[in-house]
Amino acid sequence: MTGAPAAGPNRAPRRLGPFGVPAVGLGCMNVSHAYGTPPSAEDAAKLLLTALDAGVTLFDTAALYGFGANEELVGRVLGPHRERIVLSSKCGMTGVDGRRVIDGRPETIRRTAEESLTRLRTDVIDLYYLHRLDPAVPVEESVGALADLVAAGKVRAIGLSEVSAATLRRAHAVHPVAALQNEYSLWTRNPERGTLAAARELGVALVAFSPVGRGFLTDAPPDPAALPAGDIRRAMPRFGPAHYPANLALRQELAGLARPAGLTLPQLALAWVLSRGEHVIAIPGTRSTAHLRENVSVLDLDVPAEVLDAAGRVLSDATVHGARYAEATLPEIDTERCGAAG
């Protein structure tokens, strides 16, 4: 936060390719996509500007989010502050005729980049990810297209999302990869099966999305029965009736660790993610300015190692109940699997 003392171990900037950014950024998807009816344009703009005022510099969007609407929002609201932010977006998974389509062909990547530049109101995207690996296109071809965008001055650095360590290495051999954005939290440990270590070895930032478990690791966890139509959690087994009660019991144990340490549950969850390595950056999403400030506050917290270790034992891939995605979605994800947890 602007003017805040450098008190916590996470306050120092972390490397993201050629950039130095605070360890907590903002995932912008929530205000346009995947979680039911989006907030008003005014409330969404207020959230982005509050993040900027709180010292957030990394803003993460994608062509998919709201089928372009999120990029348009980010471009409109943050365009006047372009020099203060690190702007990241994604290609390779977009909305086509109302459907989500994975397409990593070079010609599609080039076209999507031009569309994104227009919506974002900028002439260069700081960090441009391949949102999903297209199984019909070798990753080398997709990354080659991203490299061409760097050479053309339209992208400054490239990244990958939801891929394995093996795919990361293949991509990195074609062009340096600045960031790997995979889901990582107390209850999603897939990066520990390979990508966490591979990213560290290659000098790649691991950007953790959904670090508070899609709202599960907050002080007001969602009620699955009350989720609106279109909320992606309705199709996720962990939020289903067969698994959610057992997961809530684990969450209560975590809350019992957080309270005596003077922490909220999301602060504990974020501190745990950031403790996994100095190359790890978290991008929690939210629609609440209060939650946003709570997330950023973790930068100034010094959480005892024994509390973090205990949290990691209470909730892990060995204790969580249910897969993170439905069976129909898992084939789209290239990351290492965590047994029954997906």
Annotated catalytic residues are 65
Distance CA 86, CA 48 (A): 13
Query: Checking DSSP bridges between strand 58-60 and strand 86-91, what pairing results, if any?
Result: parallel
Token couple for 113? 């980049």
Helix (H, G, I), strand (E, B) or coil at 88: strand
**Burial class of residue 114 in the structure, from the number of CB atoms within 10 Å of its CB (0-12 exposed, 13-18 middle, 19+ buried):** exposed
Q: Are 160 and 180 in contact (CB under 8 A)?
A: yes
Nearest to 193 by CA among 206, 175, 210: 206
- DSSP per residue over 16-35, as a string? ETTEEE-SB-EE-GGGTSSS
Q: Are 302 and 7 in contact (CB under 8 A)?
A: yes
Distance CA 207, CA 282 (A): 6
Token couple for 318? 């060995």
